Amino acid sequence: DVVIEVAVVDTSSLATDVLSLTVSSPLTLLSNSVMKNGAAIATIDSSQAGRLRITLSDTAGEIPTKADITALLQSLTYASTNRAQDQERYVKVAVSVTNSISHSNSLERTIYLKPVNDAPTLTATATNPTFRPGDSPVTLFSSVVANTVEGQQEFTGFTLTIDNVSDGEDEIVHIDGETIPLANAINRVTQTNQLTVVVTGNTSLKQITVSKMWLLSASKVASILSNFAYENTNTDMAAG
Protein backbone atom coordinates (compact mmCIF):
# COMPACT_ATOMS: atom_id res chain seq x y z
CA ASP A 1 0.00 0.00 0.00
CA VAL A 2 0.96 3.60 -0.54
CA VAL A 3 -0.35 6.27 1.83
CA ILE A 4 -0.63 9.96 1.02
CA GLU A 5 -1.16 12.15 4.07
CA VAL A 6 -2.03 15.83 3.84
CA ALA A 7 -2.34 18.05 6.89
CA VAL A 8 -2.72 21.73 7.69
CA VAL A 9 0.21 22.48 9.98
CA ASP A 10 -1.26 25.76 11.25
CA THR A 11 -3.84 24.68 13.86
CA SER A 12 -5.45 28.08 14.48
CA SER A 13 -8.53 27.42 12.32
CA LEU A 14 -8.72 23.74 11.39
CA ALA A 15 -12.52 23.63 11.41
CA THR A 16 -12.67 25.92 8.37
CA ASP A 17 -9.67 24.45 6.52
CA VAL A 18 -10.90 22.04 3.85
CA LEU A 19 -8.60 19.60 2.02
CA SER A 20 -10.02 17.65 -0.89
CA LEU A 21 -9.38 16.01 -4.27
CA THR A 22 -10.50 17.11 -7.73
CA VAL A 23 -9.47 14.14 -9.90
CA SER A 24 -9.71 13.86 -13.67
CA SER A 25 -9.98 10.97 -16.13
CA PRO A 26 -9.16 8.11 -15.93
CA LEU A 27 -9.67 8.62 -12.18
CA THR A 28 -13.07 9.37 -10.67
CA LEU A 29 -14.44 9.84 -7.18
CA LEU A 30 -17.18 7.63 -5.74
CA SER A 31 -18.10 8.45 -2.19
CA ASN A 32 -14.85 7.98 -0.23
CA SER A 33 -13.06 6.01 -2.94
CA VAL A 34 -10.90 6.85 -5.93
CA MET A 35 -11.98 4.72 -8.90
CA LYS A 36 -10.13 3.60 -12.01
CA ASN A 37 -11.62 1.34 -14.68
CA GLY A 38 -14.55 0.63 -12.36
CA ALA A 39 -12.36 -0.53 -9.44
CA ALA A 40 -11.37 1.29 -6.27
CA ILE A 41 -7.64 2.02 -6.16
CA ALA A 42 -7.72 4.23 -3.05
CA THR A 43 -9.82 5.15 -0.04
CA ILE A 44 -10.10 8.68 1.33
CA ASP A 45 -10.33 9.49 5.04
CA SER A 46 -11.30 13.10 5.76
CA SER A 47 -12.76 12.49 9.21
CA GLN A 48 -10.27 14.80 10.93
CA ALA A 49 -10.51 18.55 10.38
CA GLY A 50 -7.60 19.88 8.38
CA ARG A 51 -6.34 16.41 7.44
CA LEU A 52 -6.69 14.06 4.48
CA ARG A 53 -5.43 10.47 4.29
CA ILE A 54 -5.44 8.62 0.95
CA THR A 55 -4.60 4.91 1.06
CA LEU A 56 -3.84 3.26 -2.30
CA SER A 57 -4.07 -0.49 -2.73
CA ASP A 58 -4.71 -3.17 -5.37
CA THR A 59 -7.23 -5.16 -3.31
CA ALA A 60 -10.01 -4.44 -5.84
CA GLY A 61 -7.93 -5.85 -8.71
CA GLU A 62 -6.68 -2.59 -10.24
CA ILE A 63 -3.04 -1.80 -9.50
CA PRO A 64 -2.32 1.88 -8.78
CA THR A 65 0.53 3.17 -10.92
CA LYS A 66 3.11 5.87 -10.37
CA ALA A 67 1.10 8.03 -12.74
CA ASP A 68 -1.97 7.54 -10.54
CA ILE A 69 -0.06 8.65 -7.44
CA THR A 70 1.25 11.69 -9.31
CA ALA A 71 -2.26 12.53 -10.51
CA LEU A 72 -3.62 12.32 -6.96
CA LEU A 73 -0.88 14.58 -5.62
CA GLN A 74 -1.60 17.10 -8.37
CA SER A 75 -5.33 17.04 -7.66
CA LEU A 76 -5.04 17.98 -3.96
CA THR A 77 -6.89 21.20 -3.20
CA TYR A 78 -7.20 23.52 -0.22
CA ALA A 79 -10.03 25.93 0.62
CA SER A 80 -11.09 27.98 3.62
CA THR A 81 -14.77 28.29 4.51
CA ASN A 82 -14.14 31.10 7.00
CA ARG A 83 -16.10 34.02 5.52
CA ALA A 84 -15.59 36.06 8.69
CA GLN A 85 -11.82 36.21 8.26
CA ASP A 86 -10.78 39.87 8.41
CA GLN A 87 -6.99 39.48 8.68
CA GLU A 88 -4.45 37.96 6.33
CA ARG A 89 -3.26 34.47 7.20
CA TYR A 90 -0.56 32.11 6.00
CA VAL A 91 -1.43 28.41 6.06
CA LYS A 92 1.20 25.68 5.89
CA VAL A 93 0.12 22.40 4.31
CA ALA A 94 2.35 19.32 4.72
CA VAL A 95 2.19 16.39 2.28
CA SER A 96 3.88 13.03 2.81
CA VAL A 97 3.96 9.84 0.71
CA THR A 98 4.81 6.54 2.38
CA ASN A 99 5.14 3.15 0.66
CA SER A 100 4.59 -0.36 2.01
CA ILE A 101 8.13 -0.64 3.36
CA SER A 102 7.88 2.64 5.20
CA HIS A 103 9.99 4.67 2.81
CA SER A 104 8.60 8.19 2.70
CA ASN A 105 9.07 11.62 1.29
CA SER A 106 7.44 14.88 2.32
CA LEU A 107 7.16 18.55 1.50
CA GLU A 108 5.42 21.68 2.75
CA ARG A 109 3.65 24.45 0.90
CA THR A 110 2.51 27.84 2.24
CA ILE A 111 -0.82 29.31 1.14
CA TYR A 112 -1.60 33.00 1.55
CA LEU A 113 -5.19 33.75 2.54
CA LYS A 114 -6.24 37.25 1.57
CA PRO A 115 -9.23 38.57 3.52
CA VAL A 116 -12.28 39.65 1.52
CA ASN A 117 -14.45 42.48 2.75
CA ASP A 118 -17.91 40.90 2.43
CA ALA A 119 -20.96 43.11 2.11
CA PRO A 120 -23.03 43.29 5.30
CA THR A 121 -26.43 41.62 5.44
CA LEU A 122 -29.76 42.82 6.78
CA THR A 123 -32.96 40.81 7.08
CA ALA A 124 -36.34 41.76 8.52
CA THR A 125 -39.99 40.82 8.39
CA ALA A 126 -42.37 43.53 7.18
CA THR A 127 -45.27 44.00 9.60
CA ASN A 128 -47.47 45.59 6.84
CA PRO A 129 -49.53 47.57 9.36
CA THR A 130 -52.69 49.59 8.70
CA PHE A 131 -52.63 53.22 9.87
CA ARG A 132 -55.80 55.27 10.42
CA PRO A 133 -56.13 58.94 11.40
CA GLY A 134 -55.58 59.30 15.12
CA ASP A 135 -53.71 56.01 15.49
CA SER A 136 -50.46 55.78 17.41
CA PRO A 137 -47.29 55.38 15.29
CA VAL A 138 -47.03 51.89 13.80
CA THR A 139 -43.78 49.94 13.64
CA LEU A 140 -42.83 48.57 10.23
CA PHE A 141 -40.34 45.77 10.90
CA SER A 142 -39.93 42.75 13.15
CA SER A 143 -37.28 40.02 13.48
CA VAL A 144 -34.55 42.41 12.34
CA VAL A 145 -31.08 40.87 12.05
CA ALA A 146 -28.05 42.90 10.96
CA ASN A 147 -24.70 41.24 10.29
CA THR A 148 -21.36 42.73 9.25
CA VAL A 149 -20.09 39.19 8.37
CA GLU A 150 -16.55 40.12 9.48
CA GLY A 151 -16.65 40.03 13.25
CA GLN A 152 -14.46 43.08 13.93
CA GLN A 153 -16.47 45.48 11.76
CA GLU A 154 -19.39 47.78 12.57
CA PHE A 155 -21.97 49.74 10.55
CA THR A 156 -21.48 53.31 9.35
CA GLY A 157 -25.19 53.67 8.67
CA PHE A 158 -28.11 52.58 6.50
CA THR A 159 -30.63 54.01 4.02
CA LEU A 160 -34.40 53.63 3.93
CA THR A 161 -36.53 54.38 0.85
CA ILE A 162 -40.19 55.35 1.25
CA ASP A 163 -42.49 55.54 -1.76
CA ASN A 164 -45.98 56.97 -2.30
CA VAL A 165 -45.51 59.93 0.07
CA SER A 166 -48.47 62.28 -0.55
CA ASP A 167 -49.02 64.37 2.60
CA GLY A 168 -45.64 66.05 2.90
CA GLU A 169 -44.63 67.08 6.42
CA ASP A 170 -47.75 65.46 7.88
CA GLU A 171 -46.19 62.08 7.17
CA ILE A 172 -43.71 61.32 9.92
CA VAL A 173 -41.29 58.56 10.81
CA HIS A 174 -39.87 57.92 14.25
CA ILE A 175 -36.17 57.04 14.34
CA ASP A 176 -34.18 56.59 17.53
CA GLY A 177 -36.81 58.51 19.50
CA GLU A 178 -36.80 61.45 17.07
CA THR A 179 -39.78 62.67 15.03
CA ILE A 180 -38.71 63.10 11.38
CA PRO A 181 -41.11 64.69 8.83
CA LEU A 182 -40.91 63.25 5.32
CA ALA A 183 -39.94 66.60 3.81
CA ASN A 184 -36.85 67.62 1.86
CA ALA A 185 -33.86 69.31 3.49
CA ILE A 186 -34.43 67.59 6.82
CA ASN A 187 -31.10 67.07 8.62
CA ARG A 188 -31.24 66.20 12.30
CA VAL A 189 -29.17 64.54 14.99
CA THR A 190 -31.04 62.24 17.38
CA GLN A 191 -30.55 62.59 21.11
CA THR A 192 -30.48 58.91 22.06
CA ASN A 193 -27.64 57.62 19.86
CA GLN A 194 -26.52 60.83 18.13
CA LEU A 195 -27.53 59.55 14.69
CA THR A 196 -27.47 61.94 11.76
CA VAL A 197 -30.76 61.60 9.86
CA VAL A 198 -31.06 63.19 6.40
CA VAL A 199 -34.23 63.16 4.25
CA THR A 200 -33.90 63.68 0.49
CA GLY A 201 -35.96 62.89 -2.62
CA ASN A 202 -38.86 64.20 -4.65
CA THR A 203 -42.49 64.75 -3.70
CA SER A 204 -43.53 61.10 -3.50
CA LEU A 205 -40.24 59.19 -3.13
CA LYS A 206 -38.06 59.84 -0.09
CA GLN A 207 -34.72 58.50 1.01
CA ILE A 208 -33.77 58.54 4.67
CA THR A 209 -30.04 58.21 5.29
CA VAL A 210 -29.02 57.32 8.83
CA SER A 211 -25.37 57.51 9.84
CA LYS A 212 -23.10 57.86 12.85
CA MET A 213 -19.51 59.06 13.04
CA TRP A 214 -18.53 56.55 15.75
CA LEU A 215 -20.18 53.57 14.03
CA LEU A 216 -23.02 51.30 15.05
CA SER A 217 -22.99 47.71 16.26
CA ALA A 218 -25.14 45.13 14.50
CA SER A 219 -27.40 44.85 17.54
CA LYS A 220 -27.87 48.63 17.64
CA VAL A 221 -28.88 48.74 13.96
CA ALA A 222 -31.38 45.94 14.58
CA SER A 223 -32.80 47.77 17.60
CA ILE A 224 -33.19 51.08 15.70
CA LEU A 225 -34.99 49.40 12.80
CA SER A 226 -37.18 47.31 15.10
CA ASN A 227 -38.47 50.57 16.63
CA PHE A 228 -38.74 52.46 13.33
CA ALA A 229 -42.33 53.71 13.14
CA TYR A 230 -44.65 55.69 10.84
CA GLU A 231 -47.63 58.00 11.36
CA ASN A 232 -49.65 60.58 9.43
CA THR A 233 -51.00 63.57 11.35
CA ASN A 234 -53.28 64.68 8.50
CA THR A 235 -56.83 63.83 9.59
CA ASP A 236 -57.88 63.99 5.94
CA MET A 237 -54.93 61.94 4.74
CA ALA A 238 -54.83 60.32 1.32
CA ALA A 239 -55.15 56.54 1.18
CA GLY A 240 -52.08 54.56 0.12
For residue 29, give the 3-state DSSP assignment: strand
CA–CA gap between residue 214 and residue 232 (Å, rounded): 32
Q: Is-contact 95 75, C-beta < 8 A?
A: no
- pLDDT reported for residue 151: 78
Q: What is the pLDDT of residues 9-19, one digit of tens each?
A: 876 767 889 99
CA–CA gap between residue 43 and residue 53 (Å, rounded): 8
What parts of the chain have a pLDDT lower than 70? 11, 13, 240
Q: What is the pLDDT of residues 202-223, one digit of tens each?
A: 989 999 999 998 899 999 999 9
> What is residue 149's DSSP assignment?
S
Instruction: Count CB-CB contacts under 10 A for residue 150.
Output: 17
CA–CA gap between residue 18 and residue 80 (Å, rounded): 6
- pLDDT reported for residue 240: 62
For residue 212, give the 3-state DSSP assignment: strand
Burial of 15 (0-12, 13-18, 19+ CB in 10 A): exposed
For 199-232, give one letter per residue: b (16+ CB within 10 A) or e.
bebeeeebebebebeeebebebbbbbbebbbbbb
155 forms beta bridges with 216
Q: Is-contact 167 238, C-beta < 8 A?
A: yes
pTM of the predicted protein model = 0.65
Torsions phi, psi for 17 (to 5 deg):
-90, 120
147 forms beta bridges with 121
Report which secondary-structure segment, H or E, holds 107.
Answer: strand 104-113
Torsions phi, psi for 130 (to 5 deg):
-105, 130
Who's near 88: CB < 8 A, 6+ residues apart? 112, 113, 114, 115
CA–CA gap between residue 130 and residue 143 (Å, rounded): 19
